[in-house]
A and B are shown apart, each in its own frame.
Chain A
Amino acid sequence: MEKLQTTPSQTVGPFFAYGLTAEQYGYDFNSIVNGVLTDDYTEGERIFITGCVMDGAGNSIGDAMIELWQADPKGQYRLEPIQDKNDGFTGFGRLGTGTNDAHKFTFTTLKPAGIDGQAPHINIILFMRGSLHNLYTRLYFSDEMTANQNDPLFNAVPTERQSTLIAQRNEINGQVFYTFNIKMQGDNETVFFQV
């Protein structure tokens, strides 16, 4: 069977917010996804994933959009359709970086478990003005280094670049933050994967 040509990607541009992240930015349109990937009832370790996206000049990017997609604390991805953004543990989140001066994103979620020999991780899809194609990377956890070393994908990354995929754990007033900064260029440029 002859293959069709795939539709070219284009940039998300600077004005995605009222369509894709409307509630976060205060537009009068409901959102079906936000920065909270879990409800209050699902059991697991509650964590915050926070960071910035930096350009090649070292400036934080205020018009990027980040999607997270992860397994739950039992290592299972959600299979049932999401009926509402507060519908249990969705494992899927989306935030723009334009609602605070530091251009910081902060997701609320539960720490995933790894299964089938994979370390716990979060899939990240990144979009921004100035990026003609979305970019895929993965977040691994700084307190899971043994599991990370045994993870097939993590192992495929050259050792000197593996640190760009590690989110650093910090506990502040009993809350657990993992910091994951994404660097587009330069020293410690984040590893992106071809899907």
Chain B
Amino acid sequence: MESTKNDIPNTKYDLVNFDTQPPLLYPDYKSTILRSPTMPLMPVKEYLQNLRLPAFGASVIGALDNDLTKNARKNGEPIGERIKVTGKVMDEYGHGLPNILVEIWQANSAGRYIHKAEIHDAPLDPNFLGGGRVLTDNEGRYTFYTIKPGAYPWGNHYNAWLPNHIHFSVLGHQIEHRLVTQMYFPGDPLFEYDPIFQSAPKHARHLMVSKFSMDLTDAEFALAYEFNIVLNGKYQTPFENKK
């Protein structure tokens, strides 16, 4: 499944040059070798200034969509450590962004994805799917309840393991506000071995690591991890760019 071709395209450009972003070609993550453009991204920002993305209404979110401990129960509760994952989606100036679609997916507590192509020999949990979604509130805040995901191995290189992570898809209101990323957990010993985590510049990696928060923890229920997300650019309210 993973590429074995080792000739690396001759890429002269740092394709994405935002200072916290990973390059598109990161040869230690082998799948990037045949899947990253070799030509530079064309800078055409001036033509895209007013390109907004779709907005979603509250009715697309089901009552249990943000609670992964409940949204796939068949005959009991999912196994594992229940956690709360919460944070704020902001623009680069710290403005909270309301009504942003945040979707997550993750492995179960044993490090197993429900995905059909997943072959890791760890048990599925009949009461856990691992998918969820929510819209941010007026301050840009979101909250999920879930089960802490386990680490899992992958085929990138011998004895390759991914740190515990939750995949995040964030769909904001402007074209530059489309982000897919991963939330990691503090102090994971696998950080120093994982090329996907390390593809982000060193000074930016901490931005993907959630913070344990006693203040946000639900007493006698779930430890809280806070994960704030900063999207590229400045938020324009829908009326700002109408002349």
Q: How far is the CA of A185 from the CA of B5 in the complex (A)?
A: 14
Check A12–B167 contact: CB distance below 8 A. Answer: yes
Check B204–A132 contact: CB distance below 8 A. Answer: no
Q: How far is the CA of A150 from the CA of B180 in the complex (A)?
A: 33
Can you list 10 contacts pairing A with B, beta carbon distance less than 8 Å?
Answer: A1-B94, A6-B232, A15-B118, A32-B60, A56-B34, A69-B53, A69-B54, A130-B31, A194-B43, A195-B176
Check A5–B31 contact: CB distance below 8 A. Answer: no
Check B180–A10 contact: CB distance below 8 A. Answer: yes
Q: How far is the CA of A29 from the CA of B72 in the complex (A)?
A: 8
Across the A-B interface, the 5 shortest Cβ-Cβ residue pairs: A19-B105, A130-B31, A130-B35, A8-B200, A81-B57
Check B129–A18 contact: CB distance below 8 A. Answer: yes
Residues of A within 8 A of B20 (CB): 5-8
The answer to whether residues A57 and B34 also contact, given A10-B22, A22-B131, A132-B26 and a CB cut-off of 8 A, is yes
Least CB distance from A54 to B in Å reads 10
Check A9–B94 contact: CB distance below 8 A. Answer: no
Interface presence of B36 (CB below 8 A): yes
Residues of B within 8 A of A5 (CB): 19-20, 204, 207, 230
Residues of A within 8 A of B48 (CB): 153, 193, 195
Q: How far is the CA of A54 from the CA of B20 in the complex (A)?
A: 28
The answer to whether residues A28 and B9 also contact, given A7-B230, A130-B32 and a CB cut-off of 8 A, is no
The answer to whether residues A135 and B37 also contact, given A5-B204, A27-B129, A29-B131 and a CB cut-off of 8 A, is yes
- Residue of A14, A22, A185, A195 with highest tally of chain B CB at under 10 A: A195
Check B175–A123 contact: CB distance below 8 A. Answer: yes
Interface presence of B92 (CB below 8 A): yes
Residues of A within 8 A of B178 (CB): 67, 125, 134
The answer to whether residues A132 and B23 also contact, given A20-B105, A82-B60 and a CB cut-off of 8 A, is yes
Q: How far is the CA of A90 from the CA of B18 in the complex (A)?
A: 31
Least CB distance from B195 to A in Å reads 10
Interface presence of B41 (CB below 8 A): yes
Check A185–B117 contact: CB distance below 8 A. Answer: no
Q: How far is the CA of A191 from the CA of B18 in the complex (A)?
A: 19
Interface presence of B12 (CB below 8 A): no
Name A90's closest neighbour in chain B (CB-CB).
B54
How many residue pairs between the two chains, A and B, have CB atoms under 8 Å in the bound complex? 239
- Residues of B whose CB lies within 8 Å of any CB of A are 1, 3, 5, 9, 16, 18-24, 26, 29, 31-39, 41-45, 47-48, 51-57, 59-60, 62, 71-72, 90, 92-94, 99, 101, 103-105, 113-118, 129-133, 167, 169, 175-176, 178-182, 196, 199-201, 204-205, 207-208, 229-232, 238
Name A133's closest neighbour in chain B (CB-CB).
B16
Check A189–B37 contact: CB distance below 8 A. Answer: yes
Interface presence of A44 (CB below 8 A): no
Interface presence of A190 (CB below 8 A): yes
Q: How far is the CA of A134 from the CA of B94 in the complex (A)?
A: 23
Known A-B contacts: A7-B208, A82-B57, A132-B24. Give 10 more (CB < 8 A): A8-B22, A11-B31, A18-B114, A29-B72, A57-B5, A129-B35, A130-B31, A130-B36, A157-B42, A194-B16
Name B41's closest neighbour in chain A (CB-CB).
A194
Least CB distance from A83 to B in Å reads 4
Question: For residues 140 through 188 of chain A, which have their beta carbon under 8 Å from a beta carbon of chain B?
Answer: 152-153, 156-157, 161, 184-186
